[in-house]
Structure 1
Amino acid sequence: MEKEKRDALKALIVLVLISGFTLDYVAGESYCRAQRRVLVNACKRLLLRLTPNAECCDRLRKTPTRCVCPIVTPQMAALIDVNYVVGVIRSCGRRVPHGFKCGSLTAP
């Protein structure tokens, strides 16, 4: 009987750990989706190559790269002028090291 209780307790602990990791992942994805939405809304004017406004610069500085870089596919990278994007990000005060990789892009 003692062994059954220990096995049940171990199974319960594993279940709790797995549930915690799953919830963190779901919460992380939800957070990143919201961060990307706010960034896109704040920086729409960049599509027309207009100077970024204060709100856009604020979002470019605050949005975690872990939320943006995973969605930069080779197809998306082909549509992006990396020199322009990196220049805008740097002009807003966010450091972008030379050679920094973000998805399928590499900073000049």
Structure 2
Amino acid sequence: MAKFLAILAFVVAISILGSQAEDCEQDLSSLVRECKQYVMFPANPKMPPSDGCCGVVQKVNIPCLCAKVTKEIEKVVCVEKVVYVADKCKRPFSHGFKCGSYTVPAAK
């Protein structure tokens, strides 16, 4: 039941984001299709993304998508995992970049 509720919340969050992000809607659809299993809560464990997910990450308009991330979306999508996936896909976010309310910390 908890897994069903998490998936339902993710679909609702993506619907909200999709309605606000017409300028990067295709990017969003591709990310949902290829990457959702790598960015949903819980924050751990972090799994290396698939080649298909990385292919999408290499092409999307990250600033557009991150500007559309709301508190509702952050309840379902772990932005820390989004940053991890981007890094693993060789498209790291720079220190201080904001995605929703999350600010990318300095590299460790």
Q: CA deviation at 1:96?
A: 0.8
Q: TM-score, normalised by structure 2?
A: 0.60
Q: Where do 5+ consecutive residues of structure 1 fail to align?
A: 1-28
Q: Where do 5+ consecutive residues of structure 2 fail to align?
A: 1-20
Q: CA deviation at 1:31?
A: 4.9
Q: Which has the larger radius of gyration?
A: 1
Partner AA of 1:93 in structure 2:
K
Residue of 80, 84, 90 corresponding to 1:83: 80
The count of corresponding residues between Structure 1 and Structure 2 is 80
Higher normalized helix content (fraction of residues): 1
Q: How much identity, in percent, do the aligned residues show?
A: 35
RMSD (Å), alpha carbons: 2.3
Residue 96 of structure 2 contacts residue 104 of structure 2 at CA under 8 Å; is this kept in 1? yes
Residue 83 of structure 2 contacts residue 92 of structure 2 at CA under 8 Å; is this kept in 1? no
- More contact order relative to length (CA 8 Å, sep ≥ 6): 2
Q: Which runs of 4+ in 1 moved over 4 A?
A: none
Partner AA of 2:25 in structure 1:
R
1:39 and 2:31 are equivalent in the alignment: yes
